[in-house]
């Protein structure tokens, strides 16, 4: 019997006999009709005989189908693109010859781990100057001298710890042209001066780790309203400071300051000696994760804003505050 036979062949009671049809009793014919196995019955019998194998087969098919579905779903999950980063307003670099931070960050672990500043160079290594080229009546030597003055002022203003803890601004102010010094002393308030320089609040404690720095320096020759030739230098930097703090999450102890400053040096042949030197003609900044009371006095310390949020830290793009190309136009939460 082949495997396709559902049941044994029933006896053929209707075969003709030598005695003729009349010799087959009616009860035999009736019995034949009652025991004949129809298609539905045959199917039930077959299922009964093969129930265990059928369950195993169906289980295997279902398992394969489930694996196929999960595999396809997993593939779709892997192939699905990640959610794009949230957009935030940025600025375009100013026209001119420029250089961006190029130094490699230090490999050691520290308080900046888990933040974008972990990939920034330490201190002055993050200030990369563009090549000095003759432009607009300024010689390459004059351009180089101007860029050096700007870099020295930046290092004093944002990285010199002796200046940060000093009670006056003179260490920085005396680096400007004589007439520019008077302006910085008399007309720039303490609250505004924080856009130019970092001064620590009493009791604020920086960790020994060097601040992390990233940004860009751009210069070009121009003329002011009076036709005086000017070498204009635009600096755009993010400064990240590590403060002593019990906070354990990445960035809890990090204060971020992002400033954009416009420095100008007039051509020495076009101005009086008192005007010759470094001028600051525009400034803007924001700070994040600072103490509000100190910040309003132009001083820096780790703290929280008046509403419990870090100062000027719009959620949910906190990491964007470390981007030098981020717009300075953000809300102050103090």
> Under DSSP, is residue 55 helix (H, G, I), strand (E, B) or coil?
helix
Reply yes or no on whether the pLDDT at 205 is more than 50.
yes
User: What residue ranges do the domains of the chain occupy?
Assistant: 24-79, 97-322
Place of tokens 């035999």: 28
Residues 101 and 94: their CA atoms lie apart, in Å, by 16
Nearest in space to 98 (alpha carbons), one of 209, 247, 235: 235
Q: Which pLDDT does position 24 carry in this prediction?
A: 41
Tell me the mean pLDDT in the region 25-47: 40
CA angle 320, 295, 113 (to 5 degrees): 40
CB 231 within 8 A of CB 219: yes
Question: Taking the CA of residue 73 as centre, how many other CA atoms within 13 Å lie in the half-sphere pointing to its CB?
Answer: 6
Q: Residue 229 to residues 84, 144, 147, 220, 265: CA-CA distances in angstroms?
A: 46, 16, 16, 11, 9
Q: Which residues pair with 273 in a beta bridge?
A: none
Q: What is the mean pLDDT of the chain?
A: 78
Percentage of the residues of the chain whose pLDDT score is greater than 90: 55
Mean pLDDT of 211-234: 97
- Average pLDDT of the residues in 18-39: 39
The whole-number pLDDT of residue 265 equals 98
Kindly report, residue by residue over 69-105, the tens digit of the pLDDT. Answer: 333 333 333 233 334 456 777 877 888 888 787 766 6
Highest-pLDDT range among 54-63, 124-133, 303-312: 124-133
Reported confidence tier of residue 309, pLDDT bands at 50, 70, 90:
low
- Degrees, nearest 5: CA angle 239-308-301: 35
- pLDDT per residue over 39-62, tens digit each? 444 444 444 444 444 444 444 434
Question: Stretch 271-288: mean pLDDT, rounded?
Answer: 96
- Mean pLDDT over residues 119-140, rounded? 97
The pLDDT value recorded for residue 249 is: 84
pLDDT at 17 over 50: no
């Amino acid at each position: 019997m082949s495997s396709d036979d559902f049941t044994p062949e029933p006896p053929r009671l209707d075969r003709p006999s030598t005695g003729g049809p009349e010799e087959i009793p009616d009860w035999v014919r009736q019995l034949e009709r009652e025991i004949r196995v129809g298609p539905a019955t045959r199917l039930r019998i077959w299922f009964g005989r093969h129930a265990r194998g059928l369950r195993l087969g169906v289980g295997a098919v279902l398992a394969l189908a489930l694996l196929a579905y999960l595999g396809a779903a997993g593939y779709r999950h892997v192939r699905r693109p990640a959610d794009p980063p949230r957009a935030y307003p940025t600025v375009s670099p100013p026209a001119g010859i420029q250089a961006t931070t190029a130094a490699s960050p230090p490999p050691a672990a520290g308080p900046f781990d888990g933040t974008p500043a972990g990939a920034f160079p330490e201190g002055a290594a993050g200030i990369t100057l563009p090549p000095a080229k003759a432009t607009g009546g300024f010689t390459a030597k004059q351009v180089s001298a101007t860029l050096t003055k700007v870099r020295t002022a930046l290092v004093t203003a944002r990285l010199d710890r002796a200046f940060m803890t000093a009670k006056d601004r003179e260490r920085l102010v005396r680096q400007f042209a004589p007439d520019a010094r008077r302006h910085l002393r008399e007309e720039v308030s303490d609250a505004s001066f924080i856009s130019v320089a970092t001064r620590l609040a009493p009791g604020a404690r920086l960790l020994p780790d060097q601040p992390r720095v990233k940004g860009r320096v751009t210069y070009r020759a121009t003329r002011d309203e009076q036709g005086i030739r000017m070498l204009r230098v635009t600096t755009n930097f993010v400064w990240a400071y590590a403060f002593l703090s019990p906070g354990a999450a990445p960035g809890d102890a990090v204060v971020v300051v992002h400033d954009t400053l416009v420095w100008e040096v007039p051509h020495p042949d076009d101005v009086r000696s008192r005007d010759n030197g470094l001028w600051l003609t525009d400034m803007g900044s924001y700070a994040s994760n600072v103490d509000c009371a100190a910040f309003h006095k132009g001083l820096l310390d780790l703290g929280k804003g008046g509403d419990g949020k870090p100062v000027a830290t719009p959620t949910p793009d906190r990491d964007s505050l470390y981007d030098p190309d981020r717009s300075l136009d953000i809300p102050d939460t103090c």
